[in-house]
Structure 1
Amino acid sequence: MMNLLKLVKYDWKRNAGFLLIMGALFLLTGAAVTVFGEVKNLDTDLIYVLTFIVYLAVTISLCVTICRTYERNLRYFNRRLLPLPALHTVLSPLLLGIAGLAAIGVIGVIHLMVLGAVVDTVHLRVFDILADRGFWAMMTSSILFVIIIFSSITVGKVFRGKKGSWIGAALFIGLQLAIQWVETKLFPSMNVSTDQFFQSVNVRITDSGDQVVHVQANVPNFWGPLLYEAVIIVLLVYMMTYLINRKIQIRG
């Protein structure tokens, strides 16, 4: 465990400059949207949409960063020679990404509270979202998406040259289509993909002077799809560790 944390710390140091700059821009942009919206008296819905775009952009940037980190870890010869399990190579950037998402989530909670106090009389019950199983279903699907990217990068590294890039890209598309197709066949009424999570969200506003938004996602067949995606994650991680070990043995 300590070795894994050391790897996470190492990955953080390599990306700290970019992540800190991105975090500073993220905070400044989010604050600017709130202040500008209040000063210019923009529509409340527009302020929330602009804020969502800011959070989406920083989340995508974080995802790209951890995928690049994983790709570099596979490419660097000295990193692959470390006497550590191949599983650490997979988990290290993944944990870094989860830590980044947690930081974004904490900032988001604070920001929502500020928005509720400054530009709106409606307060979002953040804990309702965190306690809802649809939120965790969406998180599982998000992790699966990142693992699919990692798997595609790993398979691409097995082959030399541009051929590896094309094979990795094809695998990325093929894995998504195949996993989604099987999930739809197994659980036709509902799967736990991100888009269907948002389609299932119901919003209810209490009738009071200090209005409160209650958010609830109706996700039928919750445990089946969740376990299915968890099994896929485990299988893909096992495949990656196998390929990483094989790659070291052949090319080390």
Structure 2
Amino acid sequence: MITLLKYDFRRNWNTLLAGLVILIIAQVGLSLFMSEVTGVVIGIMGYVGVGVAIYVKMIKTYTSNIRSYNRRLLPVTGLSHVLSPLIFGALCGLGLVIIFATHAYIYISMKLRMNMASNIDLSGLHVSDYISLLLFSAWVMVFMTVIIFLSISIAGSFRWRTGPWIGIVAFFVLVNLLGWLENIITTGRFSPNELFRYTEESTGIAITANGVLWSDGMWGSIVFEVIVAVILVWATIYLNNKKVEV
């Protein structure tokens, strides 16, 4: 898997480096030449756009790995073709989060001249709440990515041109079927709105963390999704080894 991951980074390194340079230049330009509110809004949109680009690159990397004849010649297992793009996307996403956190710290400390800890206290959230949100979001992304990988493998199992359409249909069927099963087996799927409670006060909107990540219902939902994810990965490996045409 390390071999495949090394090839993935080597192939995408120039694109990643160019995107990083463009992001840094754009953020510096926004800080110097834009108003405070406009700069913050466009800056956040820039980070979101880069995150989406990284996710798309991860999906394209997986598709290339399972359909490319040269990549099939590498001495790696079928599991590596699934894990390598996931690790690639996770490392790139983690790097983007670190850059964003560093940028936020510099902006709050130097431009707003506020203490980072004080700013977190003013938001009404604790550090553990932010970590919980990040972990919850990361797991949702991983679970959805596993479904997308399986859908791509299903599409690759058909030779004719309808393969991509079959993959799209398979994705929506899997999402709805798994959501229905989860609602039956567990107490119900949590929505992101249940992570925090929003209340309107005279001074503005107050945010209170519900700590939903540590509740029994959420743990039951996560355990169910972990079991399902293992089954989906097994099905993906089987299709890649037996059905997908290179």
TM-score range, shorter chain: 0.7 to 0.9
Q: Secondary structure at the match of 2:159?
A: coil
Aligned to 2:6: 9
Q: State the TM-score, normalized to the length of structure 1.
A: 0.80
Number of aligned pairs?
Answer: 229
C-alpha RMSD over aligned residues: 2.7
Aligned to 2:242: 246
The 2-side partners of 1:18 and 1:185 are apart by 44
Correspondence 1:133-152 to 2 at 5 A: 134-152=133-151
Q: Does 1:216 align with 2:206?
A: no
For residues 188 and 33 of structure 1, do their structure 2 counterparts lie closer, same or farther at Cα, with a shift above 3 Å needed? farther
The 2-side partners of 1:51 and 1:188 are apart by 39
Q: Shift of the alpha carbon at 1:69?
A: 0.8
Q: Shift of the alpha carbon at 1:22?
A: 1.4
Q: Does 1:89 align with 2:81?
A: yes
Aligned to 1:51: 43
Picking from 191, 197, 212, the partner of 2:192 is 197
Q: One-letter code of the match for 1:234?
A: V
For residues 165 and 20 of structure 1, do their structure 2 counterparts lie closer, same or farther at Cα, with a shift above 3 Å needed? same
For residues 203 and 27 of structure 1, do their structure 2 counterparts lie closer, same or farther at Cα, with a shift above 3 Å needed? farther
For residues 223 and 79 of structure 1, do their structure 2 counterparts lie closer, same or farther at Cα, with a shift above 3 Å needed? same
Aligned to 1:167: 166
The 2-side partners of 1:203 and 1:111 are apart by 27
Q: State the TM-score, normalized to the length of structure 2.
A: 0.82
The 1-side partners of 2:45 and 2:152 are apart by 27
**Alignment check: 8 A CA contact 1:152 1:172 kept:** yes
Picking from 97, 100, 103, the partner of 1:111 is 103
Picking from 229, 232, 236, the partner of 1:236 is 232
Q: Secondary structure at the match of 1:160?
A: coil
Q: Shift of the alpha carbon at 1:214?
A: 8.7
The 2-side partners of 1:188 and 1:50 are apart by 39
Q: Does 1:60 align with 2:52?
A: yes
1:145-184 per-residue CA deviation (whole Å, 9 max, x = no partner) reads 1111111111111101312111101111111122222223
Q: Give 5+ residue unaligned stretches, structure 1.
A: 205-212
The 2-side partners of 1:35 and 1:202 are apart by 35
Q: One-letter code of the match for 2:80?
A: H
The 2-side partners of 1:34 and 1:201 are apart by 30
Aligned to 2:31: 34
The 2-side partners of 1:185 and 1:30 are apart by 46
**Alignment check: 8 A CA contact 1:112 1:124 kept:** no
Q: Secondary structure at the match of 2:2?
A: helix
Q: One-letter code of the match for 1:74?
A: I
**Moved >6 Å (runs of 4+):** none
Q: Shift of the alpha carbon at 1:226?
A: 1.1
The 1-side partners of 2:130 and 2:72 are apart by 38
Q: Shift of the alpha carbon at 1:198?
A: 5.0
The 1-side partners of 2:24 and 2:148 are apart by 28
**Alignment check: 8 A CA contact 1:11 1:69 kept:** yes
Identity fraction in percent: 25
For residues 199 and 31 of structure 1, do their structure 2 counterparts lie closer, same or farther at Cα, with a shift above 3 Å needed? farther
Q: Give 5+ residue unaligned stretches, structure 2.
A: 200-205
